[in-house]
Amino acid sequence: MNRSPEAQAQYERLLPEAIAAARAAWCPHSNFPVGAALLTADDRIIRGCNVENASYGLTNCAERGALFSAIAQGHAPASFKAMLVYAPNVALISPCGACRQVMHDLMSPHCVVYCVGHETAAARDWTVEQLLPGAFGF
Ligand code: THU
Q: Smallest Cα–Cα separation from 16: which of 36, 44, 43?
A: 36
41 pLDDT tier (thresholds 50, 70, 90): very high
Q: Per-residue pLDDT for 32 more than 90?
A: yes
> Given pLDDT bands bounded at 50, 70 and 90, which one contains residue 1?
confident
Catalytic status, residue 129: no
Pocket test for ligand 1, best of 23, 26, 29, 30 (most atoms within 8 A of CB): 30
Amino acid at 114: Y
User: Do residues 39 and 9 make contact, with C-beta atoms less than 8 angstroms apart?
Assistant: no
Q: Is the pTM of this model over 0.75?
A: yes
| C-alpha–C-alpha distance, residues 16 and 123, integer Å | 15
Ligand 1 centroid – CA 50 distance (Å): 6
Residue type for position 91: A
Per-residue pLDDT of 59-108, as tens digits, reads 999 999 999 999 999 999 999 999 999 999 999 999 999 999 999 999 99
Question: Which atom of ligand 1 lies at the shortest distance from residue 85's CA?
Answer: 6
Tell me what percent of the residues of the chain surpass a pLDDT of 90.
Answer: 99
Report strand pairing: 82-86 vs 35-39: antiparallel
pLDDT digits (tens, 9 = 90+) for 102-134: 999 999 999 999 999 999 999 999 999 999 999
Task: Count CA within 13 A, CB hemisphere, residue 84.
Answer: 26
Measured in Å, residue 60 CA sits from the centre of ligand 1 at: 8
Instruction: Give the confidence band of 19 by pLDDT, cuts at 50, 70, 90.
Output: very high
User: Among the atoms of ligand 1, which is closest to the Cα of residue 34?
Assistant: 3
Burial 41-69 (b: 16+ CB within 10 A, else e): eeeebbbbbbbbeeeeeebbbbbbbbbee
- 121: CB partners within 8 A, 6+ apart: 1
Q: Catalytic: which of 6, 12, 52, 63? A: 63
